[in-house]
Amino acid sequence: MPNHALSDLLSALDFAWRREPATPGPLDNIQWRANACDAGSILFFQRFDDGRTDTEIIERYLADSACSVLVTNRMIEGVERLPGKGIYVTHLGDWAEVVARFCDCIYPLDTDGTVFLGVTGTNGKTTTVKYLEAILSAHGRPVLSVGTLGLSLAGEPLVNTGFTSPPLIELRRLLHAHRDRYAVVAMEVSSHALDQGRAHGIPLQNAAWTNFTQDHLDYHGGEAAYFAAKARILDMIADGGRLYTTSSDVAERLRENGQPRVPVEVLPAATLGAEALAAKPFLALAHNRRNYALAVTLADGILGPGAREDWRHLSAVDGRFECRVVGNRTLVVDFAHTPDALETILSAIREAFPRAQVASLFGCGGDRDRFKRPLMGAAVARHSDHTIVTSDNPRFEDPERIIADILTGMPETGREVVVERPRAIARLFDFLAERPEDEPWVALVAGKGHERYLDAKGHKTPYSDQDEIERNLLRLGWV
């Protein structure tokens, strides 16, 4: 791309405030990370209300960046004093469209030859996208999936982005880099992404909304704002498209908020026979049958409706109801980390294993919505015969304080506290070993799922619930 195109676009667009660079030079790349810039970079920096001061933002991210031009979504006090840099501030509400215009220059998007499908919801986004990817791949459609598990092509991992929904520049870069390898893009679209415009300009043929329950209130500030952010997926759906949901509550609330710009259709959970449930035990869970129904319907938009047995192409999704069975003991690893997700999976376990007792191990993340902690404790206590409360990504909070918040929602009996997560899993195994061998137990290890780190005090230490389970299986000779 000619170097002058980015400079021309800077000149052509209407900004709320601008200061030209002291010594204009050629611009040849766009960045969203300050430390990835060079002298030819335009840095797009989105400022949030995250408690940090403008001075902290400048010192931590902007002062040492090599970019020649800085574009922000609002004025950052003091940024005009950054020596020599061009400074551009977008009008309120223009941020996503401005970023998309620059992405169109560097990473053009093929909206004619590609079908885009999106999935939002509090829980089930990853599972629905991976089911959709498996179905379409089995029918010869090259699918790129984007979500919590990273970027995958026809089910084969390509890169771990570290985001459910990458920032728009990163998303467009990835889509452009692999543009000759896919015909369909199936993407998770988080509430953060919808609020921040991370998927702006991506035209969805159809979309799915799995469910809506309490989460991310630390970011959105309230349940109504959280729902409103999710509802912005309607604006991404192209004319003629539909939003599918398995939640009648979501559909009703959308209608109460005004006539949706595209039709909203409520789907029942898929009905599957004994052969399917025996072959794919994760489909015994009602919420996975709902995810499956959404995936099949989105696939129908590409393959056409038909009497397919799409369940045959599915596999358990990494960290989502992954099971290990040893005699009368079933160990389940799952990413459930909200009150509703824990309520859902534990209810499903009770239904699927009616003779078994249930042990649960879980914690809550730090620097996130504190109000959901006792709700998570209450949900686990309702459905468990024994509970171990532990740590889960405390970030910059004291793990013991987080656990104290959880315990306010739980009775004092039938619970243990083991702060260090590896020790907690070892204790779970010892508890199971103490039970009679003929006594059936299901043990749920919840919260981390596919994640392979513990986030504490600003550092991510390598860690995996799955690895810890394997280690303890070997320790006790349960192999």
Query: pLDDT (tens digit, 9 = 90+) per residue, 220-265?
Result: 557 888 899 999 999 999 999 999 999 999 999 999 988 899 999 9
Phi/psi-derived region of residue 124, left when phi > 0, alpha when psi is between -120 and 50, beta in every other case: left
Percent of the chain with pLDDT over 90: 82
Q: Would the pLDDT of 2 be above 70?
A: no
Where is pLDDT greater, at 123 or 398?
398
pLDDT band at 408 (very low <50, low <70, confident <90, very high): very high
Average pLDDT estimate for 85-95: 96
User: Which residue type occupies 133?
Assistant: E
Check residue 217 and give its pLDDT: 55
pLDDT tens per residue, range 434-463: 999 999 999 999 999 999 999 999 999 999
- Grade residue 215 by pLDDT with cuts at 50, 70 and 90: low
Say if strands 386-389 and 357-362 run parallel, antiparallel, or are unpaired.
Answer: parallel
Structure tokens at 431: 């508890």
What gap in Å lies between CA 291 and CA 200, rounded to an integer?
25
The pLDDT, as a whole number, for residue 323 is: 87
pLDDT exceeds cutoff 70 at 218: no
* H helix or E strand, kind and range, residue 44: strand 41-45
Q: What does the alpha-carbon distance between residue 353 and residue 444 come to, in Å, rounded to a whole number? A: 12
Mean pLDDT of 172-183: 96
Q: How confident is the model at residue 47 (pLDDT cuts 50, 70, 90)?
A: very high
Give the residue-averaged pLDDT of 429-437.
Answer: 97
Mean pLDDT of 173-183: 96
The mean per-residue pLDDT over the stretch 318-334 comes to 91
* pLDDT at residue 1 greater than cutoff 50: no
Least confident of 14-28, 210-224, 234-248, 336-350: 210-224
> pLDDT tens digits for 54-67?
999 999 999 999 99
Give mean pLDDT, residues 363-370: 92
Provide the edge-to-edge strand list for the sheet that holds 329-334: 322-326, 329-334, 441-446, 357-362, 386-389, 415-417
State the Cα–Cα distance between residues 24 and 49, nearest whole angstrom. Answer: 32
> What gap in Å lies between CA 429 and CA 422, rounded to an integer?
11
Q: Would you state the pLDDT for residue 17?
A: 96
For the sheet with 86-89, list strands across it: 17-19, 86-89, 69-72, 41-45, 29-31
The token pair that represents 49 in the structure block: 């209300």
Residue 219 predicted with pLDDT over 70: no
Q: How far apart are the first and last CA of the chain?
A: 57
pLDDT recorded at residue 398:
97
Is the pLDDT at 418 greater than 60? The verdict is yes
pLDDT at 221: 59
Amino acid at 9: L
pLDDT band at 145 (very low <50, low <70, confident <90, very high): very high
Domains and CATH numbers, the chain: 4-106 (3.40.1390.10), 115-313 (3.40.1190.10), 322-475 (3.90.190.20)
User: Closest by alpha carbon to 199, among 186, 191, 189?
Assistant: 189
Q: What is the mean pLDDT of residues 87-95?
A: 96
The amino acid sitting at 348 is A
User: What mean pLDDT is reported for the chain?
Assistant: 93
Q: Is the pLDDT of residue 214 over 60?
A: no
| pLDDT attached to residue 307 | 85
What does the pLDDT average to over 301-323? 92
